[in-house]
Structure formats: structure tokens, C-alpha cells
Amino acid sequence: MSNNKWIAELKTVLQVAKARLDVREKKKTEQVAKERYTVADYIRNNKVPRARIAVEHLIREDYKIEAMDRVEAYLDTLLMRMQLIKDRP
């Protein structure tokens, strides 16, 4: 496979991965926002142990969202540096 074709395919794959990751990140963010209201309902109804479990889950989901954001930043970096990769022998 020629170097230019390989670079073009890599660029396409990176762009698709970035788009998919962006959609997944937005979906998770909306889901977490909705679940925060559920936690508030648990606390209002004196279901504190259940609320704690839900909060732990929300924290894990927030960490996942942050990780997705970092991966997206790495993908952006790779896309910006495609010319440097292309010039390598």
C-alpha cells in the first residue's frame, strides 16, 4: 500500500473515531444529567443508601466522560499532525 493511501485511510479512520466518540460523549453527558435528578429524588424520599450507590455510579461515568475527552484531544492532535506523519519515510 502506498504511503499516501495509508495516510488518507488513517485520516479517515481518525475522523470517524472522533465523530463517534463525540456522539458517545454527548449521550453520556445527557444521561448523567438526567440521573442527577434521580439521585435528588432518592434523597428526598430518604433512600440515602441507594442515593450513595447512584452517586458512585455518576462519578464513574464522569471519569469515563473525561477519558473520552482526552482521547478526543489525542485524535485532534494526530489529525493536526498528519502532514508530519506524511513526510516521514
- Eight-class DSSP state of 81: T
CATH number at residue 65: 1.20.1260.60
Question: Which has more pLDDT, 89 or 10?
Answer: 10
**Inter-axis angle of helices 3-44 and 48-80, to 10 degrees?**
160
Give the total number of structural domains in the chain. Answer: 1
For residues 8 and 26, give the distance between their C-alpha atoms in angstroms, rounded to a whole number: 27
Residues 11-68 have pLDDT tens digits of 999 999 999 999 999 999 999 999 999 999 999 999 999 999 999 999 999 999 999 9
> SS3 for 17?
helix
Question: What pTM was computed for the model?
Answer: 0.81
- Eight-class DSSP state of 89: -
Range of the domain at 37: 3-87
